Structure 1
Amino acid sequence: MEEQQLLGLLWTMLPSTSYILGSLLFGMVGFVAYRYGKKNQRPRCKWLGVALMFYPYLIGSDTRLLYLLGTALCAALYVYIDE
Structure 2
Amino acid sequence: MSRLLVVVPGETVRHPDDDPDPAFWTSSHRVEPGRSIGAGSGASGALRLRSAIMPSPANLFALVVFSITGFAVFRWAAKQAYWRSAAIGVALMIYPYFVDRTWLLYAIGLGLCAALHFFRD
TM-score when normalising by structure 1: 0.83
Shift in Å, 1:31: 0.4
Counterpart CA distance in 1 for 2:109 and 2:66 is: 6
Which of these two proteins has the greater Rg computed from alpha carbons?
2
Counterpart CA distance in 2 for 1:45 and 1:62 is: 25
Counterpart CA distance in 1 for 2:24 and 2:106 is: 33
User: How many matched pairs?
Assistant: 78
Structure having the higher helix fraction is 1
Shift in Å, 1:4: 2.2
Please say if 1:32 is aligned against 2:52.
no
Q: Runs (4+) of structure 1 moved beyond 4 Å?
A: none
Counterpart CA distance in 2 for 1:62 and 1:43 is: 29
Q: After superposition, where does 1:1-83 map in structure 2 within 5 Å?
A: 2=16, 4-5=24-25, 9-10=51-52, 13-59=53-99, 61-81=100-120, 83=121
Residues 29-62 of structure 1: CA distance to partner in whole angstroms, max 9, x if unpaired?
A: 1001100110000001111000000001122x20
The SS at the match of 2:92 is helix
Unaligned runs of 5+ in 2: 1-14, 17-22, 30-49
Unaligned runs of 5+ in 1: none
TM-score when normalising by structure 2: 0.58
Aligned partner letter, 1:32: A
The SS at the match of 2:55 is coil
Shift in Å, 1:9: 2.4
The SS at the match of 1:21 is helix
Counterpart CA distance in 2 for 1:80 and 1:29 is: 16
Across the aligned residues of Structure 1 and Structure 2, the Cα RMSD in angstroms comes to 2.1
Identity %: 33
